[in-house]
Structure 1
Amino acid sequence: MPTQEIGAPIPNVPHAVSVSLPTWEATVGYEEGESWVVNKMTSGYPRFFIHTSIKKLAKKLEEKYGRQNEVAVIFPSYKVAKRCREFVKTHAGSDANGSAVRILQLSTPPPANADESSTKIESNIGVVFLQASLFPLAKSYWQHSGEGISSRMGEYVLHALFGDEDDGSVGNSGYSNALQQAQQIQRRSPSIAASFSSINAPDKVAEKEYNAFIEHKFGRVLDLKFAKQAKIALRRRICGKVDHSHNQQEEIEKAKRGKNLSETDVYLFPTGMASIFFAHYALLQTWSTPKKSVCFGFPYVDTLNILKKFGPGVHFLGLGDDASLDTLEKQLESGEIDVMALFCECPSNPLLKTPNLKRIRSLADKYDFAVVIDETVGNFLNIHVLPYADMVASSLTKVFSGDSNVMGGSLILNPLGKHYHKFKEFFDEEYEDLFWDEDGLYLERNSRDFAERSAKINENSLLAVDLLQKLPLISKVYYPSIGESKKYYEEIKTPDGGYGGLLSFLFHNPIHAVRFFNAVNLHKGPSLGTNFTLACPYAILAHYQELDEIAKWDVDRNLIRISIGLEDPDELLGVLQKSLDSASDP
């Protein structure tokens, strides 16, 4: 059953990506910092909420290496820590008051022998020490860039450097025993779920409890020495090349990115936001003269923040429609603006608009700017956007993973792009693999059935959209298969692709939106692309401080967004119908 407990992790595992905000009022309370909500938050979306293991590691580092009133912010490399320091100094202004922002590099011990390579890895961190008054700026960098350490990395480094774990329930010897047991499970099967097949459980509830127990007790259940192979498998999966030795789905063969694309053009990142950030960073470093970029269409909040806060700035065309492209073309032609790149989502989150990528590509070629496309919402099994992009970014946290227990991102360079060689040279010199090995192992395991899950989600979503469109209470439904931009989606849709799992909708009466959301028996919290259906009052959750501003871009404050999952379709539609009926009750 979906949790209705405020602040509980979704799912109920130590490294959950989402968190429960089960009512409209709780979401507002969270945004306003009300104690009855924030004091119950034991988890949160990782770029916004710093995980307990990371907090404990930071405290240990402050106690051992910190100076008076200093706090520690931890990143997975010295280079990233330097970028954070530069951001803080740039934006601190008079608030810095001459305060030093310093960086400490630390490493964990490498494995001493082959046996230890299953449980040990040499890792490096860059720790930014700064005055507590400057912490909000460092936290802002953490959120926007997506380059903070993952919770699993924090847990590992905490144990490796200080010999304890986040919950303190397992000491050194207990920790080692847990890892040994976990490895035994892994040797029986690469999947936690599969390992349950040898357990005589009476029902599905016991199976779910067992799976949660295994993840909670052992944390890292996959052998670290296979991390390199897991990342190769991920890159091949992302570029559409099937490695049959790993039993990956044949269906992915149907979604080849292009015969010229190699896994060497696919780069992994700790989060989807980190891939977008690095794309922008690469542009700023390689363009002869850094210029403003265009943000085309209303995007996820931190994409726009990256373009605003790093570099020369942004031209924001928030409607993302044909008229916006007309305006852009006139400004480019007249010389009113000269841009470095155009960033867009395909489709956009949360309005599910599809940009005219053919026209965007034509303008980019004519006026010499790069195109960066975020395909997260569409996913590469449903849409093929690479021919129109110089770089394609994606959050692997979402439907590619599905399990909502690991963060990850990817960035693809188009080998046929005009600027490919310039970008490739920069990536060869500057790219760091900051994707934590344990996270890579989890993501590889989670994504093995990506094709099968994506198809099922496509089917369930069409049924949900059909239900919503028939109801008089609903004033508008947003989905790629309907609306004015459908024609542009059809141009990039793969032969066997669908329309994805994300939809948004509005009620005629805002009171009905609140009633529906509070009544609906679904998981409710941030994120999307989960194997379970997940709902949120999107504008309230993502833009509470700027509700009037986002209305200019047709984002209504009462918008509800639902990410459709893998539930039985009859059961899912029944849950939706029941809550829709109750919304209209007097």
Structure 2
Amino acid sequence: MPISQAIGAPIPNNTDHAVSVTLPTWEATVGYEEGQDWVVNKMHSGYPRFFVHSKVKELSRLLELNYAKDNEKSMIFPTYEVAKRCREFIKSKTLLPNCSIRILQLSTAPPKTDEEKSFKVETQIAVVFFPGSEFSLAKAYWQHTGEGVSSRLGEYVLNELGEKLEATASKERKMTKQNSNRSSSGRNSRSSISSLQNNQEYSTFIEERFGRNLDLRFAKEAKSILRHRIATTHSAELSDDDVYLCSSGMTAIFTAHHLLLNTMESKDLKSVCFGFPYVDTLNILKKWGAGVHFYGFGDDDSLDDLEKRLEGGERILSLFCECPSNPLLKTPDLIRIKKLGDKYNFVVVVDDTVGNMTNLNVLPYTDIVTSSLTKVFSGDSNVMGGSLVLNPKSNFYAKFKEYLDENFEDLLWAQDAIYLERNSRDFEARSKKINHNAIEVLKFFEKSPLLEQVYYPSTMSSKNHYDALKKADGGYGGLMSIVFKDQADAVCFFNNVKLSKGPSLGTNFTLICPYSILAHYQELDEIEQWGVDRNLVRLSIGLEPTQELLETLKEALDSSVEQHNV
């Protein structure tokens, strides 16, 4: 795969719905986090929960031209229930007195013929209009929950409604005799609609040319296959009906927490975040419900402390953890945690994305398993998705099952489901290849005198906890973090390595980022108290020929050695 080093280029290259984005140097990553124009102005793509896709932005712009009141902005969601949650979140956080927030629902036309059913489906969106000053709150909801419209859904609705919205907006502009600048904007809008149609025709051509034409009639079947694939990968005894598909991995985590807040008598109790997690898991537990106890080390001593608190009479709603954690690759003692959960009546929710369901069997030691299907399960870095799985042997199963069967909304857009199904057909084979490559990369890094530490599940003191969960034919996954003895070496290595550089993980190609800078730039001092070095570099190992990958890494490490000799 050609590797772009252009700031803001999608990863993979020339991918309309890419999940990752190129930040090719350490300096560019810092510039992005600081909002520097030389980086931000080139960001035409981004991770979907942080960066609103251009098609979704265009749809928002047209909706605002047609329906917004003075100074209102908009955020688009797939259903009215999600839009209501966003409205409730903004109202709970805003400092504005009498903050007016409106919701508009729109539908696309249903197919009229059997032929149209292959490319047309009736769908709805819910648009939240709010004062422009509160955009950051709406964007926070979008980011934390992952419940915003997917880029493909936004594109579909724009294709269906864009011309009508543009025509209505143009007519309104003429009637109100708005200034020439806005008229010019209107001309640009018509051009963008025309461009959009041309792009759509090109995309359709590519799909048909390579035998991957999307037939929307198969969306329901694709979702059924996905649920079965996930169920059987977890356990031969798991029912497909206990698998719930979500629009992203973070949506699965948010759905799990929302489930607890609506079913548990102890919903007014705090939850526990066990281990240093991905940032938005902690945000969800902080911003919804009674709050969170944060055990950032996630080790056996932390678990001793939690057990003492529970023995002393303190109660908790739930314990959320990653298995293993991102980016430190620590594995919690799930067996002991589940025993504590059963004894003290709290819910255990485990995100197994990093270890992934082909390597680990976490289900017996959890009540709920969440996974990001965006990562290794898909691999192609061109679609978002997630899953929530109920453990049928959980003490809470009947309660959770009843609630979800009555209230769960399937937010996974039809086209995204079709892509996920196709991408994941060779999921297990790809996972094994990634496991193999990662072990070889680990051996290579362990020989380097430049490195202070290599984080990988098999090198951690928690390896015994990982091995207790590892399937007989499983491995240790593809995620690895390294810390250099000298920051200058870390910067030199990252800037010179000829690999894709950007956010996300689990891609079929090796993906690398200065993780602490990218995910925690505003809190570098704080994360170091939890053992996360500010100069940590994270690698998600891919499917490249092993020797080729090792040579690429060696070349970059050699550049760091050479700088010492200059």
SS at match of 1:233: helix
Q: Show the 5 A alignment for 1:90-109.
A: 90-92=92-94, 94=95, 96-109=96-109
Corresponding residue of 2:10: 9
Corresponding residue of 1:35: 37
1:132 aligns with 2:157: no
Change (3 A) 1:29 1:491: same
Corresponding residue of 1:148: 148
Corresponding residue of 1:113: 113
Q: Show the 5 A alignment for 1:388-467.
A: 388-467=365-444
Corresponding residue of 2:176: none
CA distance, structure 2, for counterparts of residue 176 and residue 151 of structure 1: 13
In the TM superposition, what whole-angstrom CA distance separates every residue of 1:354-394 from its partner, at most 9, and x where no partner exists? 10000000100100000000000011000000001111000
Change (3 A) 1:256 1:51: closer
Corresponding residue of 1:228: 220
In the TM superposition, what whole-angstrom CA distance separates every residue of 1:207-231 from its partner, at most 9, and x where no partner exists? xxxxxxxxxxxxxx31000000000
SS at match of 1:418: coil
Task: State the 1:159 CA deviation.
Answer: 1.2
8 Å Cα contact 2:106-2:125 kept in structure 1: yes
What is the one-letter code of the residue matched to 2:104? L
What is the one-letter code of the residue matched to 2:499? L
CA distance, structure 1, for counterparts of residue 200 and residue 531 of structure 2: 54
CA distance, structure 2, for counterparts of residue 3 and residue 340 of structure 1: 46
CA distance, structure 2, for counterparts of residue 169 and residue 568 of structure 1: 42
8 Å Cα contact 1:119-1:179 kept in structure 2: no
Task: State the 1:400 CA deviation.
Answer: 0.4
Change (3 A) 1:54 1:422: same
1:257 aligns with 2:235: yes
CA distance, structure 2, for counterparts of residue 413 and residue 273 of structure 1: 16
Task: State the 1:557 CA deviation.
Answer: 0.1
CA distance, structure 2, for counterparts of residue 359 and residue 496 of structure 1: 24
Residue from 5, 15, 22 that aligns with 1:20:
22
What is the one-letter code of the residue matched to 1:310? W
TM-score by length of 1: 0.89
8 Å Cα contact 1:401-1:446 kept in structure 2: yes
8 Å Cα contact 2:9-2:44 kept in structure 1: yes
Corresponding residue of 1:122: 122
1:550 aligns with 2:527: yes
Change (3 A) 1:512 1:63: same
SS at match of 1:141: helix
Residue from 551, 561, 567 that aligns with 2:544:
567
CA distance, structure 2, for counterparts of residue 545 and residue 170 of structure 1: 38
In the TM superposition, what whole-angstrom CA distance separates every residue of 1:452-484 from its partner, at most 9, and x where no partner exists? 111100000000011001111111000011120
Residue from 479, 486, 494 that aligns with 2:456:
479
Task: State the 1:181 CA deviation.
Answer: 5.0
8 Å Cα contact 1:52-1:166 kept in structure 2: no
Query: 5+ unaligned residues in a row in structure 2: which ranges?
Result: 167-189
Identity %: 59
Moved more, 156-165 or 124-133: 156-165
Corresponding residue of 1:307: 285
CA distance, structure 1, for counterparts of residue 52 and residue 443 of structure 2: 39
Task: State the 1:258 CA deviation.
Answer: 4.2
What is the one-letter code of the residue matched to 2:473? D
Task: State the 1:3 CA deviation.
Answer: 1.1
CA distance, structure 2, for counterparts of residue 494 and residue 17 of structure 1: 29
CA distance, structure 2, for counterparts of residue 177 and residue 564 of structure 1: 35
TM-score by length of 2: 0.92
CA distance, structure 1, for counterparts of residue 207 and residue 224 of structure 2: 21
8 Å Cα contact 1:53-1:166 kept in structure 2: no
Number of residue pairs matched by the alignment: 535
Task: State the 1:581 CA deviation.
Answer: 1.2
What is the one-letter code of the residue matched to 2:309? Q
8 Å Cα contact 1:28-1:541 kept in structure 2: yes
8 Å Cα contact 1:7-1:44 kept in structure 2: yes
Corresponding residue of 1:581: 558
CA distance, structure 2, for counterparts of residue 579 and residue 184 of structure 1: 40
1:506 aligns with 2:508: no
SS at match of 1:27: helix
Query: 5+ unaligned residues in a row in structure 1: which ranges?
Result: 193-220, 241-254
Residue from 291, 313, 317 that aligns with 1:340:
317
SS at match of 2:258: helix
The CA RMSD measured in Å over matched residues stands at 1.6
